[in-house]
Amino acid sequence: MMLLTVNAGSSSLRLAAFSVTGGEPEPVASARYELQGESGAELLRNFLEQYKPGHITAVVHRIVHGGPYFSGPGLIDAAAEQQLVQLAPLAPLHTGRSLSLVRAARALLNADTPHIASFDTAFYTDLPQLARHYALPAELTTRHGLRRYGFHGLAHEALWRRWSEVAAQGTNTGRILTLQLGSGCSITATRDGRPMDTSMGFTPLEGLMMATRSGDIDPGLLLYLQQHHGWSTDELDDLLNRQSGLLGVSGLSADMRVLLASESASAKLAVGLYCYRVRKYIGAYLAVLGGADSIVFGGGVGENAPEVRTRILVDMDWAGVHIDTVANRVATGREHRISPPESPVSVWVLKADEQALMARQAAALLAAQATR
């Protein structure tokens, strides 16, 4: 079978085709696009015309928020699509774009081609009770499904699986912190393959400072802007999702490369705050796990910014974390261990192959349906 994966992020679109003949999905073609001028539908059409992957058996879409409805991959039928529409306000930078790509793919391919959702939240379905609950009235949380869902689950699961292959020599045991640092940023604490905590919550806004998202913020600050300065919910949404983070603090750019090259005080503050927030979460999750065996960096910033990795982990000898300066510099855009052999906590730069994981999930779902 030939599977097409559609992975829409907050600032990019990744498309790939995989051949599945009984074993692991084999990549046939892949491309990454920055979402600037062209629409997702145009990019999808161009990909199919350029790479000509042949007959598409099914299309697998990364969907950021599955809410209380979806705990694993599933077919996107009319009922599922309606539920996703209801969840769209909880992931405003993602779900609307993903649904438009579902419709575009339907228009480009045979009408009977199945479309499958692969959910970022599914990895965190069984998050421990203490990690998923908010300190809100129980009746309210039950009625509205208010809990910490977690996001970037595909990336964190892919990083954990890659770590198991490369660093843990095929075993699935160990305490690992995975850092997905890109336009969106998150950290997950995993023990033996099970997520124990993660930084994103009910929406992808909670947690680390990101490219244009604020991350953790005092809710009272938002009430203050509403009550005393007349801010509307739409204005607050735009503030938190599109005008904050690196862009908001620096007033210059949401691109870490631009900020690292800048000498402006506001750019330096933005980078410093970004690294400080990640460092705080690492300390918290070391407490959650009782220490760590490995720390893994992934994502566009995590893979390509040695200075950011250094600033996050500098002077963490007390936690058994050491960085090899040369190895860290070499690990730019490629997988590498960046801690010395004697470091009690190994530190890695690894690639999160979300597309391969999506294809694997879809192949398993289609195989299960075929045996019914």
Q: In whole angstroms, what is the distance from residue 50 CA to residue 29 CA? A: 10
The residues that bridge with 191 in the sheet, in sequence order, are: 175, 194
354 near 18, Cβ under 8 Å? no
Collect all residues with Cβ–Cβ distance below 8 Å to 71 and sequence separation of at least 6: 122, 125
Amino acid identity of residue 73, one-letter, is P
**Biggest alpha carbon–alpha carbon distance for the chain:** 62
Triad 335, 336, 339: Cα angle to 5°:
150
Residues annotated as part of the active site: 120
Q: Hey, CA dihedral for 367, 40, 355, 31, is it positive or negative?
A: positive
DSSP three-state, residue 348: strand
Backbone CA torsion sign across 297, 299, 301, 303: positive
User: What is the residue whose two structure tokens read 């050491």?
Assistant: 322
- Asked if residue 216 lies in contact with residue 206, where contact means CB atoms within 8 angstroms, the answer is yes
Measured between its terminal Cα atoms, the distance across the chain in Å is: 18
For residue 325, the surrounding DSSP H or E stretch is helix 325-330
